[in-house]
RNA sequence: CUCCAUAACGUAAUCGU
């Protein structure tokens, strides 16, 4: 079974959905990994309708999509901005009680944010019993996408107060938020506190965010100076 | 029983309507 699954994953990875589909039809048994591989594979190759077709087919066959399959489906929604699918999946999540699985709620919150419904995303976030750094980061990034920079910063502070330690991705989100809301000083303050205060070494992506922060605000000299002085090789 | 192999939640910039 694993061997068949590996074949599915391989074909999907190179974008050969026809071969993957053929193998999927030929294999003697299928498990959750097989279904999940197909659904996520279609989604990542931009075929969201095929992905959901399989989700439906799975249910018709009386198999319950696992939490992992669900996370893949939700992640597929965001790539397509497929709000209608996000709502269907939300209903399924509620029905099955998967809401208590933090990763599933994270995926749901992120899908709503990326599909254009920030208030539903917020609702999912507020109702979560348990939050991980992924939950906080997804919410912060969601607010940032809508240009709510101030709110993103407030949430970042709230996260710190709750005792959650921000990681590298959390900093990418807050820098993204500052950049898109024109909060230049706030952004550079966060950047400069990263390593000394939080112990997170800035990566190339963080430097990229800073160049964007200055450049987007029209501070081209500052952006240029930043690029020439950064300690990692600019890409 | 333990470990290992296949899927799976947050990740900057570039995309006119």
pLDDT tens digits along A45-99: 878 888 888 888 888 888 888 888 888 778 777 766 667 778 888 888 888 888 8
Q: Is the CB of A38 under 7 A from strand B?
A: no
Q: How far apart are the first and last CA of chain A?
A: 42
**Strand B footprint nucleotides (protein C-beta < 7 Å):** 5-13
The Cα angle at residue A234 between residues A228 and A235, in degrees rounded to 5:
145
Q: What is the pLDDT of residue A13?
A: 87
Through-space separation of residue A161 CA and nucleotide B2 C1' in angstroms = 39
Predicted TM-score (pTM) of the model is 0.87
pLDDT over threshold 80, residue A105? yes
User: Which residues touch A210 (CB under 8 Å, ≥6 apart)?
Assistant: A175, A187, A188, A191, A226
Half-sphere exposure of A59 (CA within 13 A, CB side): 11
Q: How far is CA A69 from CA A43, A126, A135, A136, A232, in A?
A: 12, 24, 19, 22, 38
Q: What is the pLDDT of residue A224?
A: 92
Q: Is the CB of A58 under 7 A from strand B?
A: no
Query: How crowded is residue A191: how many other Cβ atoms within 10 Å of its Cβ?
Result: 20
Q: Is the CB of A32 under 7 A from strand B?
A: yes
As a whole number of angstroms, the distance between CA A22 and CA A29 comes to 14
Through-space separation of residue A145 CA and nucleotide B12 C1' in angstroms = 13
Q: Is the CB of A75 under 7 A from strand B?
A: yes
Q: What is the pLDDT of residue A131?
A: 93
The pLDDT of A29-45, averaged and rounded, is 88
Q: What is the pLDDT of residue A98?
A: 86
Q: What is the pLDDT of residues A201-225, one digit of tens each?
A: 999 999 999 999 999 999 999 999 9
Q: Is the CB of A23 under 7 A from strand B?
A: no
The runs of H, that is alpha helices, within chain A are 2-13, 17-26, 32-44, 48-60, 67-80, 83-96, 102-114, 118-127, 133-145, 149-161, 168-181, 184-198, 204-216, 220-229
Q: Is the CB of A172 under 7 A from strand B?
A: yes
What average pLDDT does the structure give for chain A? 89
For chain A, percent of residues with pLDDT exceeding 70: 98
Torsion angle in degrees (nearest 10) through CA of A175, A179, A183, A185: 60
Please report the DSSP string for A52-91 in residue order: HHHHHHHHHTTPPPPHHHHHHHHHHHHHHT-HHHHHHHHH
Q: What is the pLDDT of residue A24?
A: 94
Nucleotide nearest to A134 (CA to C1'): B10
ipTM summary value: 0.72
Q: What is the pLDDT of residue A86?
A: 80
Through-space separation of residue A52 CA and nucleotide B11 C1' in angstroms = 25
Nucleotide nearest to A235 (CA to C1'): B13
Q: Is the CB of A123 under 7 A from strand B?
A: no
The pLDDT of A128-152, averaged and rounded, is 92
Nucleotide nearest to A113 (CA to C1'): B10
A45: three-class secondary structure by DSSP: coil
């Amino acid at each position: 079974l694993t061997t068949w699954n590996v074949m599915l994953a391989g074909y999907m990875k190179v974008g050969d959905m026809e071969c993957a589909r053929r193998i999927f039809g030929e294999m003697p048994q299928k498990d959750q990994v097989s279904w999940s591989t197909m659904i996520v594979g279609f989604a990542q190759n931009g075929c969201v309708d095929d992905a959901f077709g399989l989700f439906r087919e799975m249910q018709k066959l009386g198999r319950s999509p696992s939490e992992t399959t669900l996370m893949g489906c939700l992640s597929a929604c965001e790539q397509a901005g497929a709000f209608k699918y996000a709502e269907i999946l939300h209903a399924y999540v509620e029905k099955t009680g998967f809401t208590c699985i933090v990763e599933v709620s994270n995926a749901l919150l992120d899908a709503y944010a990326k599909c254009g419904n920030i208030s539903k995303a917020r609702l999912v976030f507020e109702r979560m019993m348990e939050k991980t750094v992924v939950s906080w980061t997804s919410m912060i990034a969601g607010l940032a996408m809508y240009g709510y920079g101030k709110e993103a910063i407030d949430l970042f502070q709230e996260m710190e107060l709750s005792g959650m330690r921000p990681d590298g991705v959390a900093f990418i989100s807050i820098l993204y938020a500052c950049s898109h809301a024109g909060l230049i000083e706030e952004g550079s303050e966060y950047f400069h506190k990263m390593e000394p205060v939080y112990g997170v070494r800035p990566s190339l992506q963080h430097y990229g965010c800073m160049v964007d922060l200055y450049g987007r605000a029209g501070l081209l000299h500052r952006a240029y100076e930043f690029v020439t002085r950064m300690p990692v090789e600019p890409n």
